[in-house]
């Protein structure tokens, strides 16, 4: 028995030591194989997502990557934004009497009122008609800020040298600014040339071939062909159509998913008349301008371009509004608040009244006097306190 006892005293410690060594080796093997995984998982674990089960065992929940959530309009009541609801109710009654299909009022960056005729809603896409001009102006400003276009004072012969073929002194003086303000001095206007221009085989050539009858900058002749040349300049300088460049640098940044645009026979975006979008996206354009070109902390359009576009660049001798860079300028309300607006045939409007943080969108199919829109805007502005 004595010898067996001595053997046990020797063997047992050896076994214990072997077991300890084995456990240590197993531990390091497991630790080394899971070290990288543990580091990755730990990056997604915070004190907010560590829970316990019924046995009080810690359970770490791994967060999945968040998707980019599109920007959406927030809604609130008229009263919360100091707008007299009884006046807006009266506005709705007026809208009922006219073929005005949609109206959206935005104050302080949120939608506070919407009106739609039967069959229309916030998703309905409307053709903007000449409100397209203000959209093209925004895209043109972005292209110029990015260096594609040198200046508003650049002669358009830089882009269309053929305009110099007839040796006209006036034509050689036409600048980008003159296109922006409809003051080219060319014998052309929507009133007299619309049909001939639209059926022509080449819209750009049609405009450039019009005779010059006045010194550029002296006469206001509203002609959609001027805006089409702006669209052609964007395409020539950026290598993309106005729609493509606008989608990349404007529409996508504002999550404007409804935008469409037609083209001429050469594939140039119809920047003067061809854009279409829903009322919510129209309101985004107005809000972007109200924000001096900033959207979600990013400067989309330069503040200087916003300012230049929406102040008077040409004072007209007649009519109810003056003109900036493809935006109309006038005042509204009893307090004569400075305002600017995009306007299209049949009553497509984006109104912006910066001093009271107001954006109003209207879409229509109305061929009567524009005075009804001035009445509606005066009522809406006066309802704001």
Instruction: Report pLDDT digits (tens) over 161-187.
Output: 999 999 999 999 999 999 999 999 999
pLDDT of residue 188: 97
Which residue ranges in the chain fall short of pLDDT 50?
1-6, 8, 26, 30-31, 34-50, 57, 59-60
**Looking at the structure, do residues 196 and 331 belong to the same domain, yes or no?**
yes
Handedness of CA 121, 351, 218, 162 (dihedral sign): negative
**Looking at the structure, do residues 353 and 213 belong to the same domain, yes or no?**
yes
pLDDT of residue 53: 52
CATH number at residue 208: 3.40.710.10
Separation of alpha carbons 366 and 104, rounded Å:
17
Closest-CA residue to 363 (of 93, 124, 85, 110): 124
pLDDT of residue 68: 78
Domain contains 275: yes
Separation of alpha carbons 34 and 193, rounded Å:
76
Domain contains 51: no
**Looking at the structure, do residues 314 and 175 belong to the same domain, yes or no?**
yes
**Looking at the structure, do residues 188 and 273 belong to the same domain, yes or no?**
yes
Domain contains 337: yes
In the chain, what is the straight-line distance between the N-terminal and C-terminal CA atoms, in Å?
107
Separation of alpha carbons 361 and 351, rounded Å:
6
Domain contains 188: yes
pLDDT of residue 35: 46
What's the domain count of the chain?
2
**Looking at the structure, do residues 279 and 360 belong to the same domain, yes or no?**
yes
Separation of alpha carbons 185 and 173, rounded Å:
10
Chain centroid offset of residue 182 CA:
24
**Looking at the structure, do residues 9 and 104 belong to the same domain, yes or no?**
no
**Looking at the structure, do residues 112 and 6 belong to the same domain, yes or no?**
no
Which contacts of 260-268 are long-range, i.e. CB under 8 A and separated by 24 or more positions? 260/125, 261/132, 264/202, 264/203, 264/204, 264/228, 265/201, 265/202, 265/203, 266/202, 266/203, 266/204, 267/241, 268/203, 268/204, 268/228, 268/231, 268/232, 268/235, 268/241, 268/242
**Looking at the structure, do residues 26 and 171 belong to the same domain, yes or no?**
no
**Looking at the structure, do residues 30 and 166 belong to the same domain, yes or no?**
no
Q: Which residue has the tokens 């009080």?
A: 56
Q: Could you tell me the residue range of the domain that residue 18 belongs to?
A: 1-36
Name the strand (E) or helix (H) holding 341.
Answer: strand 337-344
Domain contains 277: yes
**Looking at the structure, do residues 128 and 23 belong to the same domain, yes or no?**
no
Separation of alpha carbons 214 and 363, rounded Å:
35
**Looking at the structure, do residues 3 and 110 belong to the same domain, yes or no?**
no
Domain contains 19: yes
Domain contains 28: yes
Residue 104, SS3?
strand
Can you give the pTM of this predicted structure? 0.83
pLDDT of residue 39: 43
Residues forming beta bridges with residue 363, ordered by sequence position: 102
Domain contains 45: no
**Looking at the structure, do residues 26 and 107 belong to the same domain, yes or no?**
no
Closest-CA residue to 320 (of 335, 341, 306): 341
pLDDT of residue 41: 38
């Amino acid at each position: 028995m004595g010898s067996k006892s001595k053997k046990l005293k020797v063997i047992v410690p050896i076994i214990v030591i072997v077991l300890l060594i084995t456990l240590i080796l197993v531990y390091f093997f497991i630790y080394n194989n899971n070290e990288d995984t543990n580091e990755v998982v730990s990056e997604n674990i915070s004190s907010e997502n560590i829970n316990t089960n019924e046995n009080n065992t810690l359970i770490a929940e791994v967060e999945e990557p968040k998707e980019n959530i599109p920007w959406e309009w927030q809604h609130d009541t008229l009263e919360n934004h100091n707008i007299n609801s009884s006046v807006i109710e009266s506005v709705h009654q007026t809208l009922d009497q006219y073929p005005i299909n949609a109206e959206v009022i935005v104050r302080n960056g949120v939608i506070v009122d919407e009106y739609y005729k039967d069959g229309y809603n916030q998703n309905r896409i409307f053709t903007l008609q000449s409100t397209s001009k203000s959209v093209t102006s925004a895209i043109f400003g972005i292209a110029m800020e990015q260096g594609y276009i040198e200046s508003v004072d650049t002669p358009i012969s830089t882009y269309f040298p053929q305009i110099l073929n007839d040796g006209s002194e006036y034509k050689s003086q036409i600048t980008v600014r003159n296109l922006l303000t409809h003051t080219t001095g060319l014998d052309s206007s929507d009133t007299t040339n619309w049909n001939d221009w639209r059926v022509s085989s080449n819209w750009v050539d049609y405009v450039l071939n019009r005779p010059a009858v006045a010194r550029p900058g002296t006469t206001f002749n509203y002609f959609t062909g001027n805006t089409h040349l702006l669209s052609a300049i964007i395409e020539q300088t950026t290598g993309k159509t106005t729609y493509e460049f606008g989608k990349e640098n404007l529409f996508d940044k504002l999550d404007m998913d409804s935008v469409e645009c037609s083209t001429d026979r050469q594939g140039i975006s119809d920047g003067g008349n061809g854009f279409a979008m829903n009322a919510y996206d129209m309101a985004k354009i107005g809000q972007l301008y109200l924000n001096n070109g900033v959207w979600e902390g990013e400067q989309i359009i330069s503040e200087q371009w916003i300012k230049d576009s929406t102040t008077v660049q040409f004072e007209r001798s007649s009519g109810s509004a003056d003109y900036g860079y493809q935006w109309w300028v006038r005042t509204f309300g009893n307090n004569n608040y400075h305002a600017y607006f995009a306007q299209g045939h049949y009553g497509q409007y984006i109104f912006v009244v910066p001093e009271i943080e107001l954006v109003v969108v209207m879409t229509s199919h109305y061929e009567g006097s524009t005075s009804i829109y001035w009445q509606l805007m005066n009522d809406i502005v006066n309802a704001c306190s």
